[in-house]
A = this chain, B = another copy of it.
Amino acid sequence: MILGFDPTLILDLNLAGTFVFGLSGGLAGVRARLDLLGVIVLAFVVALAGGIIRDLMIGIPPATFRDGRYLAVAAVAGIVSFTARPVLDRVDRALTFFDAIGLGLFCVTGASAALAHHLGAVQSIILGAITGVGGGVVRDLLLRQIPNILRTDLYAVPALLGATVLVVTHQAGGRSALFPLLAAGACIAVRLIGVRYGIKLPIAPSERKAEPPPG
């Protein structure tokens, strides 16, 4: 039980996050010209990595391998990505979009799970953010790209924000289903606004006049 939050809501958010991260992973795989199984594998990895990392950090067996629903949802996302990329691409920047939604959902469920296992507020915020960014980091590592989270656009900021909203409202006694949804929405909104307007965090003062490194 997620300490006062409706467990069905948290499960639904988790399954929805699994699906959109599965799409994000699957589409990245299709673009990288992976074969059918490679696409499904990447959908699985991206969809499940955040939750697996979360459970390992909490110190419990990863729920994913006990609960077949996550596996089924991730597999469907992979197959949809493989067959439906032209449709998905009509939603321009589909990958960025699904990735943002997964980020928002998982930072909320990750922070909730940490609170439910009696981790402190700061730890729960960080673990929420890790749950959110974990799938994307693993995707980028496997495809040999510098992870999104280390680039200068807003990626970890919205994840931390969403987890913070969740934890603060929870600590303040809020138990309404509105708070997890609000927290996820805040994360998704900031992420998408950041992408849309190219908002960047500053790099270190010492590096600002330097040449960008080659590559």
Question: Quick check: is A1 within 8 A (CB to CB) of the other chain?
Answer: no
- Shortest C-beta distance, A80 to chain B (Å), equals 11
The answer to whether the Cβ of A126 comes within 8 Å of any Cβ in the partner chain is yes
Smallest Cβ-Cβ distance to A133: which chain B residue: B41
Within 8 Å of chain B (Cβ to Cβ): is A116?
Answer: no
Question: For residue A57, which residues in chain B have a CB less than 8 angstroms away from its CB?
Answer: 52, 61-62, 65
Other-chain contact of A204, B30, B52, B126 (Cβ < 8 Å): B30
CA distance A35 to B71 in the complex (A): 35
Is B202 in contact with A120, judged by CB distance below 8 angstroms? no
- Quick check: is A91 within 8 A (CB to CB) of the other chain? no
Give the distance to chain B from A114, nearest Cβ to Cβ, in Å: 8
Give residues 111-145 of A contacting B (CB, 8 Å). 114, 119-120, 122-123, 126-127, 137, 141-144
State whether B204 touches A82 (Cβ < 8 A). Answer: yes
Min Cβ gap A54→B in Å is 10
Q: B residues within 8 A CB of A141?
A: 141-142
Smallest Cβ distance from A125 to chain B, in angstroms? Answer: 10
Known: A85-B206, A147-B142. A156 touches B65 (CB 8 A): no
Give the CA-CA distance A44 to B56 in the complex, in Å: 17
Is the beta-carbon distance between A59 and B61 smaller than 8 angstroms? yes
17 new A-B contacts, CB < 8 A, other than A33-B207, A56-B56, A57-B62, are A29-B150, A30-B203, A30-B207, A32-B146, A33-B152, A33-B213, A34-B151, A35-B201, A44-B126, A56-B62, A57-B65, A58-B65, A71-B123, A71-B126, A83-B205, A86-B206, A143-B150
Q: Which A residues lie at the B interface, using CB under 8 A?
A: 29-39, 41-42, 44, 52, 56-62, 65-66, 68, 71, 81-83, 85-86, 114, 119-120, 122-123, 126-127, 137, 141-144, 146-147, 149-152, 156-157, 160, 200-207, 210, 212-213
| A-B pairs with beta carbons under 8 Å apart, 14 shown | A30-B203, A31-B213, A32-B150, A33-B152, A36-B201, A37-B156, A37-B160, A56-B56, A56-B62, A65-B123, A83-B205, A85-B206, A85-B207, A144-B146
